[in-house]
A and B are shown apart, each in its own frame.
Chain A
Amino acid sequence: MIGARILLESLKKQGVEVIFGYPGGQVLPIFDQLYDFDVKFILTRHEQGAAHAADGYARATGKVGVCLATSGPGATNLVTGIATAYMDSIPMIAITGQVGTHLIGNDAFQEADVTGITRPITKHNFLVKDVKDLACTIAEAFYIASSGRPGPVLVDIPLDIQRADAEFIWPEKIEIRSYQPTYSGHPGQIKKAAKLISQAKKPIIYAGGGIITSGAHIVLKALAEKIQVPVTTTFMGLGGFPGTHKLFLGMLGMHGTAYANHAIMESDLIIAVGARFDDRVTGRLDNFAPNAKVIHIDIDPSSISKNVRVDIPIVGDAKNIIGELLEQIKKIPDTSEWLKTITAWKKKHPLAYKHNSSVIKPQYILEQLWDLTKGDAIICTEVGQSQMWACQWYKYLVPRTFISSGGLGTMGFGFPAAIGAKLGCPKKEVFNIAGDGSIQMNIQELATCVANKINVKVLIFNNGFLGMVRQWQELFYKKRYSFTPITSPDYVLLAKSYGAVGIRVSQKTEVRKAIQKAINTDNTVFVDFRIEPEENVYPMVPTGSAINKMIEGLA
């Protein structure tokens, strides 16, 4: 069997349902095999789209996403997508063609040192130099990508390896002596944590993306309810705790709710689970939660004590450890006074915006979207103001319903990610919340949607600005709007020219109807909402400030 076939048979063994990619000179043998192989292949219109679609598929399903590109420019076009997946710990396999082994290092046509380029943005990568290693390498790549703290793995396959013959031998079991992730927490540490929780007066659970990766949402809810502790999530943790729950504080950090930020700052115990105390969360580090002890549960030891001093580190899988904690906590802490304080904060500093009958407020669109879907949808986003509003004004009830580029903050992510999410969850309604800046970064994927009948609904919050940067220029650069006003094509005509449907909305009264029409339309829909041009995202914590020093200006 030739290498190209071994690759596809290996992917089949791994249960791969769909591959996103783009052909080219150094992957011709693979595409020749794909021609009549039993796997769905989605031809995107740009390799970056393929990488984000594989990522979106992985985030929506929990399975490993797969993308495929040729050598040189094909591979370098994947780079942003790989870095995006790496920052958010998303399991993904990127397969790239490479020039023949005898040409590597010769500046051959379409040659790039892709394993070199992607070394710091992959969990691991491989250059396959012998066809006999190919099947085993693919098996190892999937194992590494999906175990421990997940992440993208790249496999670079030279042209001659794709053509070379070998017997297809699939390894039934993968063991890597130098890679053994820890899943169960240290029992002694868990006991100590349980004791600390019992003694706490003002505890808070700070939950991150690890809840979603490990499927810990059910035990997390059980823990919060048992010990009556409020829960805030990071951006990556949205959906890990029901957004409608009375113990939920919403997201914390730079654009988090005021009450979440006050609560963590005033707390005496932070139970951090699968979160990494990112700078967008902690604000000024030396002022962060000065009176709090910290229990930090994380599968990645390098996340612990990286930014914030930790009293009780517990390395392992969130679901296992929370399960153990639930059994170990015998005495329930008395949090009634603490919960009263939090209720008062919620009343005093609610999320709010100034209503207006003549212009469309972005928050209003999201309220209507929530009202029409009640959480039964997948919300993908681009990056910037529209993304932050989507964090604040939509309620995520279950994991994998909020899909957005967190760590890297990649504009152009949302639309192709929505394609991947829709393919992974065809019965779900999939929306992409976009700004007029971000949507133009991967707009070519409209062709992918229409050609494959992947019906995603793109809600464009069109304010004529690169809004988040404009907001910073307004607040910190004397309103010098340097290159943030941006023009757009006519999205209605554009959608039409691709064979999709476009709707323009300029009146508040049309908002709900337009969303309903988008849901009812059996096609990809672009809804061009002309929103208030200079609406800001509040609350906001300026960089370098403590996170309870928010600008709360009603927009």
Chain B
Amino acid sequence: MRHTISVLVENKFGVLARIAGLFSARGYNIASLAVSETLDPTISYMTIVVDAQDEKILEQINKQLNKLIDVITVTDFTKKDHLDRELVLVKVGCSVKDRQELESLFNKFVGKIIQAKDNTAIIEAVGDQVQIKTLLEVLEKFGVKELVRTGKLVIQN
């Protein structure tokens, strides 16, 4: 099952390595990771998305995260009410004559064209996991040349 875990940590060097180490030592891959400072610059906020094959191991990782000296709080959002968003940038193939068709997509789907030149267009989209997945599917027919994403961000509602 896919879990989204947020971790408030001391904003110090080495903290990310400690946290990543708890996952890698158990053979767990981090699917996405977003890190940034909070309003208090001495504290950072991490959002980690991980696929857990074994819930017991994930419970152990959560406890081990809490045990790290530099970790302030750990929250597993999986069973908590929350909003999530991700920002993606997508470069698609798009000739001038296709541009209108591409633009019309955004009446139904999240996103907008932020640059179009030669035979490509760059699209910026912000949405939840379903919206992003749907958008990427409809963009497939234009030919996705490049895709970058921030990883998921969550906030409790």
**Hey, which bits of chain A sit against chain B, CB under 8 A?**
115-116, 119-120, 123-124, 127, 144, 176-179, 300-302, 305-306
What is the count of residue pairs linking A and B with beta-carbon distances less than 8 angstroms? 33
Question: Given that A124-B69, A178-B72, A179-B69 are known contacts, is A302 also in contact with B17, CB under 8 Å in the complex?
Answer: no
Q: How far is the CB of A113 from chain B (nearest CB, A)?
A: 10
A302 in complex: contacting residue of B14, B21, B67, B71, CB < 8 Å: B67
**Is B64 located at the chain interface by the 8 A CB criterion?**
yes
5 contacts between A and B (CB under 8 A): A115-B14, A119-B18, A178-B9, A178-B70, A301-B63
In the complex, residue of chain A having the shortest beta-carbon distance to the beta carbon of B65: A302
Q: How many chain-B residues does the 8 Å CB contact rule pick out?
A: 18
Q: How far is the CB of B7 from chain A (nearest CB, A)?
A: 11
**Is B10 located at the chain interface by the 8 A CB criterion?**
yes
Q: How far is the CB of A345 from chain B (nearest CB, A)?
A: 33
In the complex, residue of chain B having the shortest beta-carbon distance to the beta carbon of A178: B72
| Cβ–Cβ < 8 Å partners of B72 in chain A | 177-178
| Cβ–Cβ < 8 Å partners of A305 in chain B | 59
The complex places the Cα of A179 from the Cα of B66 at a distance, in Å, of 9
| Cβ–Cβ < 8 Å partners of A119 in chain B | 14, 17-18, 21
The complex places the Cα of A123 from the Cα of B67 at a distance, in Å, of 9
B21 in complex: contacting residue of A120, A127, A177, CB < 8 Å: A120
Cross-chain contact B67 with A300 (CB below 8 angstroms): yes
In the complex, residue of chain A having the shortest beta-carbon distance to the beta carbon of B67: A302
Cross-chain contact B63 with A144 (CB below 8 angstroms): no
| Cβ–Cβ < 8 Å partners of A302 in chain B | 60, 63-64, 66-67
Cross-chain contact A176 with B25 (CB below 8 angstroms): no
**Hey, which bits of chain B sit against chain A, CB under 8 A?**
9-10, 13-14, 17-18, 21, 25, 59-60, 63-64, 66-67, 69-72
The complex places the Cα of A124 from the Cα of B21 at a distance, in Å, of 13
| Cβ–Cβ < 8 Å partners of B17 in chain A | 116, 119
The complex places the Cα of A120 from the Cα of B70 at a distance, in Å, of 14
In the complex, residue of chain B having the shortest beta-carbon distance to the beta carbon of A301: B63
Q: How far is the CB of A141 from chain B (nearest CB, A)?
A: 10
Q: How far is the CB of A101 from chain B (nearest CB, A)?
A: 12
The complex places the Cα of A178 from the Cα of B66 at a distance, in Å, of 9
The complex places the Cα of A115 from the Cα of B14 at a distance, in Å, of 9
Question: Which has the most chain B C-beta neighbours within 10 Å: A120, A302, A305?
Answer: A302
| Cβ–Cβ < 8 Å partners of A124 in chain B | 69
Q: How far is the CB of B37 from chain A (nearest CB, A)?
A: 16
In the complex, residue of chain A having the shortest beta-carbon distance to the beta carbon of B63: A302
Q: How far is the CB of A165 from chain B (nearest CB, A)?
A: 24
| Cβ–Cβ < 8 Å partners of B59 in chain A | 305
Cross-chain contact A123 with B60 (CB below 8 angstroms): no
| Cβ–Cβ < 8 Å partners of A120 in chain B | 21, 25
B10 in complex: contacting residue of A116, A123, A178, A300, CB < 8 Å: A178
| Cβ–Cβ < 8 Å partners of B13 in chain A | 127
Nearest 8 Cβ contacts at the A-B interface = A302-B63, A124-B69, A178-B72, A179-B69, A302-B67, A302-B64, A301-B63, A120-B21
